[in-house]
Amino acid sequence: MFKLSAEASLDGAITIENKFIVEYMPYADGDYVKVYLYGLSLAARKGDADDSIERLARRLDLDETTVTAAIDYWTEQGLMSRLGDDICYFSPRTARAKIKLLDVDMYKEFNRQAQLYIAARQISSNEYNNYYEFMEKLHVEWQAMVLIVKYCVDLKGDNVSCPYILAVARSLAEDGYRTADEVGERLDEYGVYYNDLRAVLGAMGKKHIDHESVQLYKKWRIEYKFPADVILHVAMSVKRGGIAMLDEKLTQYYHLCFFSAEIIDKYEADRKELYKFAKSVNKALGVYYENLDPEIAAYIKPWLSLGFENNAILFAAEYCLKNDMKKLSDLDAVIHDLFERGLTTEKQVKDSVNHENRFDDRIEKLLKKLNIKGAVKDVHRAYYAGWAEKLNMPDELIDCAAQMAADKSNPFAYMNKILLAWHDAGVTDVEKAKSASPTSPNTQSSPTGMVFERYTEQQLNDMFTQITEDDE
């Protein structure tokens, strides 16, 4: 007796669609819902002994009249059809409710008032049927529907489309507004914000108000509790994106607990400065990122929170670029190293970097003599600082050592061996250097001819200087 249509059949399983729960069940009598669900179960369990109105009524402790009335109700809703003893279920997705024979005078009055408001065009019979079907399905009073038509005409003009009217009506119905009194009160509430909303939309270059805008404005005023002047102030700053961008901004301010124009303006000014500064850092570092928000959150704000001056960070970025360190993570490592040494001002950072780079001009010339390509590296600086400041070797002796190491695979290490030997032998000029042996007690040759350096701990300390060490 009970059976599923092809669209509703699911191999013995019962599927209750959300559409039924949301659009049908809330408005149906509880006994009618029981009949619908148990009948649906019978349709899935073919050949069940309860598969009749009589047995179903006894099972649910209902009389047969109630069961029959329930079947008639669901048939009117388009979810069932009845042919003799056969009752077929249809999917709520494809169901179309039957238009009940209602009071002709009532529909005449609805038709007359609706056409009165939609004066720019003739309402078709199909459009009227859509209104009737909607009112029957969602249980909306026709007087409430007239109020919705008038409201939509006020918003969009008297040529407003049927789909737009139905969309507004559905939104109200889903929020529980279905009677004329309920809808009228709700629309009057919207009207309170009409002039304020018109000013807000005008500030963004938009002339027409729609229902979605009204709903958003009500959210800003009632849920977010923004004053009208603050909403207008923010709207005047929106250059593109329209009301969607305004909603995004106000939602952000709401979560940040920013409810005054002064606080919002300061936040935006600081935000713009951060964006401007992030671009400057990237330019100094030689990189480009379209979206700066992750960089600002992960790097810029933390650096500034450490107390660094902007120019100190920029100088550090330039330093990284010159030393072929072009990642934000590289700059971050340099920034934290400077912070650990208490260097946060522009002058402190410049002095430190200039101290580290004090021999760069000489090292660049030395690299050319040794046919070494590329930028000056920290290891080069460490070697040269050891020779010039710890060993007190004059430039001419360093140049002489470079000539002897030019063909070596590791010329700086070879130069270091020679210069240490000259230092231990008291060599102070080129003439003595040419007559001195490049080897020393501190070196040992292997059977293959390779030289291994042997240094005391003190010699190693004298030879190398920390790149981050200040010159005292």
The reported pLDDT for the residue numbered 231 is: 95
**Average pLDDT over every residue of 396-418:** 88
The reported pLDDT for the residue numbered 150 is: 92
Q: Are 218 and 193 within 8 A, CB to CB?
A: yes
The residue that leads in pLDDT, 99 or 272, is 272
The residue that leads in pLDDT, 376 or 205, is 205
List C-alpha distances in Å: 36 to 147, 183, 409: 34, 31, 90
pTM of model > 0.75: no
Element (H, E) at 334: helix 328-340
Query: Residue 471 — very low, low, confident or very high, per pLDDT cuts 50/70/90?
Result: very low
Q: Are 87 and 3 within 8 A, CB to CB?
A: yes
**Residue 246: what residue type?**
L
Element (H, E) at 401: helix 395-405
Integer Cα distance of 219 and 225 in angstroms = 8
Token representation of residue 195: 């002039």
**Residue 160: what residue type?**
V
Q: pLDDT tens digits, residue range 58-114?
A: 989 999 999 998 998 888 888 898 888 788 888 888 777 665 555 556 778 899 999
The reported pLDDT for the residue numbered 442 is: 45
The upper half-sphere exposure of residue 302, i.e. CA atoms within 13 Å in the direction of its Cβ, equals 13
- Of 246, 471, 449, 460, give the one whose Cα is nearest residue 356: 471
Q: Which residues, 6+ apart, have CB-to-CB distance to 66 below 8 Å?
A: 31, 35, 57
State the residue for tokens 């008639």: 72
Rounded to the nearest 10 degrees, the angle between the axes of helix 30-44 and helix 53-60 is: 120
Q: pLDDT tens digits, residue range 295-333?
A: 999 999 999 999 999 999 999 999 899 888 889 999 999
Integer Cα distance of 88 and 71 in angstroms = 10
The residue that leads in pLDDT, 40 or 314, is 314
Integer Cα distance of 184 and 431 in angstroms = 108
Token representation of residue 155: 């918003």
Query: Residue 220 — very low, low, confident or very high, per pLDDT cuts 50/70/90?
Result: very high
Token representation of residue 389: 């400041």
The reported pLDDT for the residue numbered 50 is: 67
**Range scoring the smallest mean pLDDT among 2-11, 173-182, 367-376, 402-411:** 2-11
List C-alpha distances in Å: 444 to 118, 250, 440, 447, 449: 105, 75, 8, 10, 9
Highest mean pLDDT among 191-195, 252-256, 323-327, 363-367: 252-256
Q: Are 381 and 363 within 8 A, CB to CB?
A: yes
- Of 429, 441, 372, 374, give the one whose Cα is nearest residue 398: 429
Burial of 343 (0-12, 13-18, 19+ CB in 10 A): buried
**Range scoring the smallest mean pLDDT among 2-16, 181-195, 293-307, 334-348:** 2-16
**Residue 89: what residue type?**
Y
Q: Would strands 86-89 and 80-83 be described as parallel, antiparallel, or unpaired?
A: antiparallel
Token representation of residue 275: 């964006």
Q: What is the chain's Cα-based Rg?
A: 42
Q: Are 33 and 25 within 8 A, CB to CB?
A: yes
For residue 451, the tally of other CB atoms under 10 A from its CB is 16
Task: Inform me whether the pLDDT recorded for 10 exceeds 80.
Answer: no
- Of 295, 294, 293, 273, give the one whose Cα is nearest residue 285: 295
Query: Residue 239 — very low, low, confident or very high, per pLDDT cuts 50/70/90?
Result: confident
Integer Cα distance of 354 and 360 in angstroms = 9
